[in-house]
Chains A and B, each alone.
Chain A
Amino acid sequence: MPDDAIGVVDRVQQGGPATAAGVLDRFRQGDPDAFEIVFRAHQRAIYGWLLRMVRNPAAAEDLTVETFWRIYRAHARFDPGREFLPWARRAATRVALDWMRRQKPEVAIAAEIDADLPAADPALRAEIRARVARAFARLPARLRLATVLAIMEEQPHKEIAAALGISRGAVKLRVFRALRLLRNDLEKQGIRP
């Protein structure tokens, strides 16, 4: 990438209006150089967003590639009058959702565990963590995604709603349903408060 383009990347990252709009307009027209500038400016943000959702660095890297490939294919549908990052995040969220749907949850093993026991026994704590993680992996992907972003990552509901393409109320509903399903699953596994 030429040196002058590196300055453009910085300006696009900082949202410099004129330069960013020009680059995004060229990106929309399918200019490969503009696409590279857009990629360099936003890859870290998209990778970070994906990492929060899939919680696996290697998978997040692969999905970043997949996301930008999809973004490139959809360049003509981008509206240069709108911000790039929310649009790209939405694409990344769809990619993450597809990936989560392909993952097969592990089978649970049942035995009664009291989750409120003193944390003295590391093996017991590890067992509880493993069971909770497995129960979480068994949730439907769209519920898991909303829950990861809302509870683990504490992202604002507005941002989650934009990324998932749903309303804020629907985000709350998904989190509520996820917690209810999780509670039932954990109780079936013998994890009780």
Chain B
Amino acid sequence: MNDDRIKKLLQDALGPVAEGEPRRDLWAEVLDKIARDSAVSPASVPWLDWALLAGIALALLAFPAGLPVVLYYM
């Protein structure tokens, strides 16, 4: 089977696609996706931030007297 034969079989099998336009307004969907992306969710916070928060919480549990120092630096 030569390449031309395979090309012909492929063109026959997959056929041409009709040129056209999107059938719905995609701009609204793009905006929705951008809005969803910019909303802060737990999954979007980097793991390092969570680790830092957990470290501070543990340190405060271990040394409650350090709370005023933490508040001072916030």
Contact = CB atoms under 8 A, between A and B. Distances in A.
B64 interface: no
Contact of B10 (A39, A64, A132): A132
A36 B6 contact: no
Interface residues of B, number: 27
Contacts, number: 90
A32 to B, nearest CB: 9
Given A69-B33, A183-B6, A186-B6, A132 B27 contact: no
Interface string B12-29: 111011011111101101
Nearest to A55: B17
A182 B29 contact: no
Contacts of A107: none
A133 B12 CA distance: 9
Interface of B: 1-3, 5-7, 9-14, 16-17, 19-24, 26-27, 29-30, 33-34, 37
27 contacts: A39-B30, A43-B27, A47-B21, A47-B22, A51-B20, A55-B14, A60-B22, A61-B24, A61-B26, A64-B22, A65-B26, A65-B29, A66-B33, A72-B34, A115-B5, A128-B13, A129-B13, A130-B13, A133-B14, A147-B10, A148-B14, A152-B11, A179-B7, A186-B1, A191-B9, A192-B1, A193-B5
Given A61-B26, A136-B10, 11 more contacts: A39-B27, A43-B26, A47-B22, A48-B19, A51-B20, A125-B12, A132-B13, A136-B13, A152-B16, A179-B6, A192-B1
